Amino acid sequence: MRLTFTLLSSFLIICSINAQQKNVEVEIKQIKQAYTFINSSKLKSNSYKYSNKCGVVNACITLYYLKGEIVKITDNGIGDDDKAAEKWNYEYYFKSGNLIFSYEWIKYYDNDLEKSVIDEKKEYFKSNKLLKKIENQKTTYPTNKTINYYDDRYLLKGIKSVKDINQIYKCLN
C-alpha cells in the first residue's frame, strides 16, 4: 500500500512538472513571436556611445521605439579584457513596458582557465517572472526567480544621456 502511494505520488508530481513545462513552452513561443515582430518592425532609435574608467573602451547603448514605446535595448561594446570584458552584445526586449526576453553574449579572458571564454545567456520573462533560462546551452526552468524595476535592464529604459549610463553601470572597485 505504501509503495503504491509513493509511486502514485511520484507519477502525479512528474505529470504536474511536465504540464507546467508545456505551459511555459507555449509562453516561450509567444515571446519569440513578439521579439521576432519587434526585429521585423521599422523602429525609431536613440543611441548613446560611452566609455569609462571601468575598462569600457568603446560601447553603444541603443533604445528602440515602436509607437513611442521602448521595445528593445541593445548594448554592444569592446572592453580592455581586464576590468571589462573583451566584447559583449546584450539585447533586451519589452512588451507593454515589461521585459520579456533578455539575450546576453560576452567574451572575456578567464585567468583560471588561461583562455578566452564566451558566455551566452537567454532569459524569458512573463510579468517579471523568469520562465526559462538557457545559459551556455544548459536549460533550466526556475520556479521562484523574479526581477523588479530596479534591474539594470529596466533602468536602461530611462537613459537620456551618457551620464545616465554611468549612474547605472557603476565601476566595481
The domain total for the chain is 1
pLDDT tens per residue, range 32-85? 999 999 999 999 999 999 998 888 999 999 999 999 999 999 999 999 988 778
pTM: predicted TM-score of the whole model, two decimal places: 0.85
Average pLDDT over residues 139-166: 91
173 in a structural domain: no
Mean pLDDT over residues 15-21, rounded? 53
Q: How far is CA 136 from the centre of its chain?
A: 13
Q: Which domain holds residue 26?
A: 2-168
The whole-number average pLDDT for the span 90-117 is 94
pLDDT band, residue 143 (cuts 50/70/90): confident
Does residue 135 sit within a domain?
yes
Is residue 45 one of the residues assigned to a domain? yes
- Give CA–CA dist 27/34, Å, rounded: 11
Q: Which residue has the higher pLDDT, 167 or 72?
A: 72
In SS3 terms, 15-74 reads as HHHHHHHHHHHHHHHHHHHHHHHHHHCCCEEEEEEECCCCCEEEEEEEEEEECCEEEEEE
- Cα 31 to chain centroid distance, Å, stands at 13
